Amino acid sequence: MEAKKVIPGGNSILSKRPERYSGKIWPTYFKKAKGCEVWDLENNKFYDFAQMAIGASILGYSNEDLNKYIKKKIDLGITTTLNSFEEVDLAKKLLKLNPGFRGVKFARSGGEAMSVAIRLARSVNDNRQEIAFSGYHGWFDWYLATNLQTKKNLNEHLLPGLDTLGVDKKLKGSIHPFSYNNTSELSKLIKKNKKIGVVVIESARYDYPEKNFVHKVNKICKQNNLILICDEITSGFRVSNTGAYRKIGFRPDLVVYGKGLGNGFPITAVVGKKKIMNAAKISFISSSNWSERVGFCAALKTIELIENKKVWKHIDLIGKQIKKGWQEIFEKYDLDISVSNFLPLVTMKLNYGNKNNLILTYFIQEMLKRNFLVSASVYISYSHTKKLVERYLLESDKVFKKIAYLLKEKNIKKEINTNIRSESFKRL
């Protein structure tokens, strides 16, 4: 309550709002964190089987190697009138990991980097500045403008209920959503609207795309001379040492990285083809904090650790373990819950309509008592061990057994001692 008085609407990403978990009982603030363990302000320890800093911590919290390296760099000074030379090393590294690309621009948040990418794409397709997109891409006006047409336009793209208050109304009609994996929707959109010059997609979030979708996205973009942006802010570095687009087969012109890139230290990057990146020589794209040293160093060290430890293989292993464990539990208790196939963000899909949030709230409430932070998804990190997952599954089993019973008895609501979670964006 105190926080809401001084920080209207709450700070940070929407996905950290306690209302999205279990309002009153969710710890909200942390004192310290290590690996996947988090201590709240009352010194209660929790295992993070929820969002791992909403995907920003791919190695785990307070990674020792990374912290040691960064601390040394801090002592050398983090920002001066001159630039940090590590930006060149990081640019070279990212170009090596993304063959065929020629330039890199850096920013500090994912939304910011996406805005850089959109600016560059629009600079090149100057006479076709409208955008077709699917997925979530941050809080900036170019994206939120989607809801100027109808309020519910963004509801199918991760975050329902986003309000357009303050968004420039002149942007109405500048951006058009299509559903992930829906080739005909994209084709129709492009045929109908000759002003679209840019296509934006998340390479993967909950599921991998169908082969035909990937093929068609590439083909449509090539035939119509559209710039394809793959947003890898969620998927990057989780299925290999680079973007998921390479494994999947998308052929983007621009790729955007964030979150895991710096293991929580703010650093994001746009990597792109020469023709598009050259627009950055002309278009005014500039910010003071973009040359700060820690971000570049964090990214260089994080990538090194990801590669040395083959972190994506561990993520896959743990993802499979959680998926299998969940499926066994849901089958055992005859629960109508399926599991997504993009393992780095393994997600349970509940099929109980308006009871979904009751079930999840109860799950969160009961798992908190067992010292686990949980949600419908687990953002897997290198710090999740097989042994800890066994414990998590054992506790989840007990809770889902009770859930199955309560659903049969039709009294799950009575057993909830907190406010029911809500996914929608709401005024706080």
Ligand X SMILES: Cc1ncc(COP(=O)(O)O)c(C=O)c1O
Which one of residues 122, 137, 273, 384 is an interface residue with ligand X (CB under 6 A)? 137
Binding of ligand X by 321 (CB under 6 A): no
Taking the CB of residue 81, how many other CB atoms lie within 10 A of it? Answer: 5
Stretch that binds ligand X, among 88-96, 103-111, 299-307, 316-324 (CB under 6 A): 103-111
- Name the minimum Å distance from CB 142 to ligand X: 12
- Name the minimum Å distance from CB 290 to ligand X: 14
Which one of residues 109, 125, 134, 383 is an interface residue with ligand X (CB under 6 A)? 109
Of 186 and 335, CB closest to ligand X:
186
Phi/psi of residue 107, nearest 5 degrees: -145, -165
Radius of gyration of the chain (CA): 22
- Name the minimum Å distance from CB 233 to ligand X: 4
Binding of ligand X by 202 (CB under 6 A): yes
Non-local CB neighbours of 4 within 8 Å, separated by 6+ positions = 10, 428
Helix axes 311-332, 386-409, angle to 10 degrees: 30
Stretch that binds ligand X, among 28-36, 136-144, 303-311, 312-320 (CB under 6 A): 136-144
Non-local CB neighbours of 245 within 8 Å, separated by 6+ positions = 203, 230, 232, 251, 252, 255
Binding of ligand X by 105 (CB under 6 A): no
Stretch that binds ligand X, among 77-85, 105-113, 124-132, 333-341 (CB under 6 A): 105-113
Which one of residues 58, 114, 175, 364 is an interface residue with ligand X (CB under 6 A)? 114
Of 18 and 111, CB closest to ligand X:
111
Binding of ligand X by 252 (CB under 6 A): no
- CA–CA distance, 248 with 116 (Å, rounded to integer): 24
- CA–CA distance, 154 with 29 (Å, rounded to integer): 29
Binding of ligand X by 138 (CB under 6 A): yes
Binding of ligand X by 263 (CB under 6 A): no
202: closest CA among 117, 312, 95? 117
Binding of ligand X by 233 (CB under 6 A): yes
Strand order in the sheet with 377-379: 337-339, 345-350, 377-379
- CA–CA distance, 145 with 130 (Å, rounded to integer): 11
Which one of residues 103, 236, 258, 264 is an interface residue with ligand X (CB under 6 A)? 258
Residues that contact ligand X, how many (by CB under 6 A) = 15
Taking the CB of residue 150, how many other CB atoms lie within 10 A of it? Answer: 9
Binding of ligand X by 111 (CB under 6 A): yes
Binding of ligand X by 234 (CB under 6 A): yes
Of 240 and 321, CB closest to ligand X:
240
- CA–CA distance, 403 with 59 (Å, rounded to integer): 32
Three-class SS state of 3: helix
Binding of ligand X by 366 (CB under 6 A): no
363: closest CA among 411, 397, 313? 397
- Name the minimum Å distance from CB 317 to ligand X: 23
Binding of ligand X by 51 (CB under 6 A): no
- Positions in the binding site for ligand X (CB under 6 A): 13, 54, 109-111, 114, 135-138, 202, 231, 233-234, 258
